[in-house]
Amino acid sequence: MNTPPDVFFLPADGEQRLCLFHAPAGEPRSRVLYLHPFAEEMNKSRRTAALACRALAEAGHAVLQIDLRGCGDSSADFGDASWTDWQADVRLGLHALDERAPNDAPLWLWGLRAGCLLVTADWGRPVNYLFWQPMTSGKLALQQFLRLKVAAEMAAGASKGLMEQMKSELAAGRSIEIAGYRLGPSLASGLEAAKLNPAGAPGRVEWLELSTREDALLTPASEQAIKGWQDTGWTVRPQVVQGPSFWATAEIELAPALIARTVEALA
């Protein structure tokens, strides 16, 4: 029987961050902090992420979800958030997880897509990483987001020079509107500079990617990134799991095989 998560607001410099804590039945086998993806991808993946959190809690893991500044039900507007704000929110989430699961169980930072770029840092303690469809470059992540507006304008027949125009607006310190989101220059520059590079003491990395093909392989970019982690002493276990790109589908879709493989990986 599923136990509802503990829903609470975490104080953050006069603001609040929505958190959901999924507690296991007994002492945690591990402690997990989940960081959601960028913009609309967060909304598209909420259902799959929630099901994965429940499955992990049932398997004995303590899991905390946090809505970053300007996202979901947390304070502020998306356009007012910065990459530095989000890094500070990761630390808030770690502190909240420490308070609710105060034991020596292994710590996992779990990111989806651009969320993986946010969690890779030296946190001053041993950590392991769970990557779902990780983006290896923040520059590429920003480029893909900007292309949403280019694609929309192409449908209206007016996209010439739009990419350069948006980059110029951001470089001049002005916000731009994309797919219903106001993107500020601080968030854009922080995302663009982010890279999926190893930091801190080496630990474990569970690297899970999705494909609708049974014979799918890792992309060359993923293979290169994985080698960089392995060369610095990290134990990386990459896997390609069959399932849809649920963070980008028109309708809400689930990835049960990914959830099952995630539970197995952390076991």
With respect to residue 238, please indicate whether it lies within any of the assigned structural domains: yes
* Single residue among 128, 160, 193 that ends a domain in this structure: 193
Tell whether 154 and 242 lie within a shared domain: no
pLDDT at residue 142, as a whole number: 95
Range of the domain at 166: 143-193
Contact (CB, 8 A) for 131 and 144: no
pLDDT tens-place string over residues 223-235 = 999 999 999 999 9
Taking 70 as the threshold, does the pLDDT of residue 187 lie above it?
A: yes
41 and 116: one domain?
yes
Residues 172 and 53 in one domain: no
Pairing verdict, β 15-22 and 6-12: antiparallel
Could you read off the pLDDT of 243-255 as tens digits, one per residue? 999 999 989 999 9
CATH of the domain at 120: 3.40.50.1820
In a domain, 1, yes or no: no
Q: How many domains does the chain have?
A: 2
Predicted confidence (pLDDT) at residue 215 exceeds the cutoff of 90: no
pLDDT at 159: 64
